[in-house]
Amino acid sequence: MLVKWIPYWCVAMLLFTAPVRPQAAPQQEQQPSNGAPPDEATQCDARIDALTKEMTELKANEIAEFKQAIEALQQQVEAAGEDSLDDFGELDELEMLDELGGGSGQGPEPIEIHGFYDLSFFKFMISDDSAYAILAPSEWSFIVCQVNLYFTGQMSSTLHSLVEAKLAFLPHGMEYNTASYGKIGDTLFDSGVPYERASTMVADPHLTNRFNYGSVTIERAHLTYSPYDWLNILAGRFLTPYGIWNIDHGSPVIIPVRAPYMQLREMVPLAQTGLQVFGRFFPSYSLFIDYAVTVSNGRGPIEELVDLDANKGIGLRLRVIYEGEQLELAVGGHGYYGKYTDIKKASIIELNPDLTINTDVDTPLRTQIDVIESYGEYILSGDLQISLFGVTLQSEAFWRLVLYEKHGLKEYDFVILSGAAASEILYHPNHIAWGAYGMIYWELPLSKWIHPVTITPFAMFERTIQEDTLPGFNFDLIFAGLNIKPSPYVVLKLEYSRGIPHAKTLYGGNADIAAAQLAVSF
């Protein structure tokens, strides 16, 4: 095997790279008295003597150190064993040496901090009387949407940790400004109560400066044990292994300004808390198979902290990847089942008519648990990515079935957009949600002239059916734009999109959006 030859390769490199002092110009040999040239054998012998003398002048300690390095490497190879070398897969010699040295007992690597942020510039071209105006500002606005920090630690060659935190300015008063839903004459809307903006302003008790406080979202926090390529065990808070952009979810890697609505509306749980087993198989040099199995608390109002029902969310992910010289193809699928439960707890005290505790019952103080909302969800999703001669076709799709055990009350905006009376009490029905997007983009072949800058035009179509029983939330989107990358760490995006609601009578027509974004990774 290749590793057996490493010591001999090192010795050969020593011979060829040993420092040789500059030789003085050979003196002109005296010609024999008869004028004949010197004997060639004599010249060769003199040259050999000179080289031999040069080699013997090498410091003995340098040769000893090099021999020790060879012996140590040989011991590592023998300790690893020939069978375990298959675990290196297709690593080259340098990567293999790193792997052999990973368990040297030097302790964990220092924590590394990196991340990304983005600055977006939006203009929603809608009329003031459109229902869209309550969801988005009609003024040109700069928006810092994401500031994500990654903290990574490598404890050993098989153990590493990751924490991803998202920083936000929100909560920052109300959702937008005066966002609320109502109807003319509705007592919930036109109540005569003076409007007062919610404030998140606080004062520093030492410096007395005032500022709006924000929030921190823990998107990921997990430890991963990776003994083999085909077996990795992850414990903690992790991103759901579905689709393309949920895993690589940072704005620097997403081609358009924003992610698809199937992510923004969380049609599939974006993250889960629990365990994940995943890995990769290598059937051939250019074919890979990825898998993942997840067990978690599932979806819930406080699922990051506690599971409010006895059911665990179960997920399965499979993806096949082919990487050829001109063609790259990836096809994946993901299935998920989980149960959402929200509860209310109350302490009940049995009292006598005189308001004293009734000691005649076994448990005068008991806890009563009421289920507020409960449903099971069945989700299937798929993704496809094809790249040929620099042109990439990418698509993701999902299908979601929601079956209620205890129907939850519809929020007020759901009541209004369903066309019902403002005072009517409505419950969420069983429903089906589905959606898909398709995008094509092409990295222009301009590297010969503008390297390292890349320019990628793209076009995209998306359809989202958030609820088949509620057309007010369903719409189509058409995108077109440019993705410009002046360096591997900076991305500029220009985009124009049109939103086409399925219930145009509610929204008053289409909505056009112009957007630009600067995304930076560090």
Question: Mean pLDDT of all residues in the chain?
Answer: 80
371 contacts 339 by C-beta, under 8 angstroms: no
Report pLDDT for 173. Answer: 65
Spell out, as residue ranges, where the chain has pLDDT lower than 70.
1-67, 74-108, 131-132, 134-135, 173-197, 412-413, 416-423
- Interval 270-325: pLDDT, tens: 999 999 999 999 999 999 999 999 999 999 999 999 999 989 999 999 999 999 98
Report pLDDT for 315. Answer: 98
Burial class (CB in 10 A: 0-12, 13-18, 19+), 484: middle
406 contacts 424 by C-beta, under 8 angstroms: no
7 contacts 70 by C-beta, under 8 angstroms: yes
Burial class (CB in 10 A: 0-12, 13-18, 19+), 416: buried
Report pLDDT for 18. Answer: 46
Report pLDDT for 16. Answer: 45
Report pLDDT for 76. Answer: 67
- Interval 335-351: pLDDT, tens: 999 999 999 988 888 77
Report pLDDT for 116. Answer: 96
Report pLDDT for 79. Answer: 62
For 408-436, what is the HEC assignment?
CECCHHHHHHCCCCCCCCCECCCEEEEEE
Sorted by sequence, the CB contacts under 8 Å of residue 435 that are 6+ apart come out as 260, 261, 262, 267, 397, 398, 462, 463, 464, 465, 466
Lookup: tokens for 366: 């008991």
Phi, psi of 363 (to 5 degrees): -130, 85
Report pLDDT for 226. Answer: 97
Domains of the chain in start order, with CATH, are 2-22+38-100 (no CATH), 112-177+212-521 (2.40.160.10)
Report pLDDT for 55. Answer: 64
